[in-house]
Amino acid sequence: MDNSTPVLLETDLPLPLFLRGKVRDTYDLGDLMLIIATDRISAFDVVLPDGIPSKGRVLNQLSSFWFQKTASLIPNHLVATVDDVQKLDAYLPAQSRAYPAYLAGRSMIVKKAERVLVECVVRGYLAGSAWDEYRQHGTVLGKTLSARLQHSQELPEPLFTPTTKAESGHDLPLSNAELENLVGRAVAEELEARSLAIYRYAREYASKQGIIIADTKMEFGLEDGRLILIDELLTPDSSRFWDAGEYKVGQSQPSYDKQPVRDWLTNSGWNKEPPAPNLPPAVIASTTKRYEQAYERLTGQRLR
């Protein structure tokens, strides 16, 4: 893929729109839903005017990859990945069967579930907001850690650090007691156990591909009272991926994500309020490359 790839910023299907998020458009199919990963990109809680070529396909296909690999650890909402638009014949009503070609590779059919309003974050390395808190207070989500840890250092054990799922603005950390009050003890304990199991499995797999998964966030839902994985899983939007060959403890690490966008916006003088400025072509190209490399390194396949 390259920057000549068409960019999808918005969808308009003859179906009931269930939700238009920062990146995904979700349509109601009755008992099921159609989730389309667009090429929209957000930074500092603002959706930018430019899209990132290939981004939606990476998010969709990488999530599908991980949903299939982790299905033995916990069920998930994936019914079918739309790699061919004709697959949709089995799911869409007859009057909607003029499928835009862009659905192939960037959409999936999923089961409906009652969303658990928690971001389940697992951290295996000291980076991002966890490093900021540790540097100031010696804690991560209020948990005291060793006084000798360095920036980007691997933690003695992965930490489950859940947050609220904010409709707007920033997510807020949740203590164990707050999580239990929000979802109940049994669900809280299962969220932690499942999140840690998925992270450990993915981290071990990724390490064999030369990738460090420093941290990630997951979302869960309830299907007939049973906890299942939903939304996306282990993508560059929801995870911090580092190249194991370039990893050096004691400093920030280059990531396979939208870091070029954040860096450029920070240096541009933008006040982080809408509207956001347009991105230079070089920043867009660099970000596309990072997303594609993450997919190819982790799956061993070329992006379709």
Six-digit token string for 269: 């003088």
Could you give phi then psi for residue 268, rounded to 5 degrees?
-80, -15
**What residue ranges define each of the domains in the chain, with the CATH number in brackets?**
12-112 (3.30.200.20), 115-246 (3.30.470.20)
Q: With CA atoms as reference, report the closest residue to 129 among 176, 175, 178, 171.
A: 171
- Digit-coded pLDDT (tens) for 240-299: 999 999 999 999 999 999 989 999 999 999 999 999 999 999 999 999 999 999 999 999
Let me know: does 218 contact 195? Beta carbons within 8 Å. Answer: yes
pTM: 0.94
At what angle are helices 281-299 and 259-268 packed, to 10 degrees? 160
At residue 1, the pLDDT reads 40
At residue 226, the pLDDT reads 96
- Mean of per-residue pLDDT scores for the chain: 93
At residue 232, the pLDDT reads 97
Range list of H helices, the chain: 55-69, 128-137, 176-183, 185-208, 259-268, 281-299
Range list of H helices, 11-153: 55-69, 128-137
- Digit-coded pLDDT (tens) for 175-203: 999 999 999 999 999 999 999 999 999 99
pLDDT reading at 2 higher than 50: no
Give the whole-number percent of the chain exceeding pLDDT 70.
95
Q: Distance between CA atoms of 66 and 96, rounded to whole angstroms?
A: 30
The one-letter code for the residue type at 267 is N
Let me know: does 126 contact 140? Beta carbons within 8 Å. Answer: yes
Let me know: does 41 contact 50? Beta carbons within 8 Å. Answer: yes
Could you give phi then psi for residue 195, rounded to 5 degrees?
-60, -45
- Digit-coded pLDDT (tens) for 205-250: 999 999 999 999 999 999 999 999 999 999 999 999 999 999 999 9
230 Cβ contact partners less than 8 Å away, ≥ 6 residues apart: 76, 77, 110, 113, 115, 219, 220, 221
Let me know: does 230 contact 219? Beta carbons within 8 Å. Answer: yes
- Digit-coded pLDDT (tens) for 114-142: 999 999 999 999 998 899 999 999 999 88
At residue 81, the pLDDT reads 96
At residue 88, the pLDDT reads 87
- Digit-coded pLDDT (tens) for 53-99: 999 999 999 999 999 999 999 999 999 999 988 888 888 876 556 78
At residue 172, the pLDDT reads 86
The one-letter code for the residue type at 292 is E
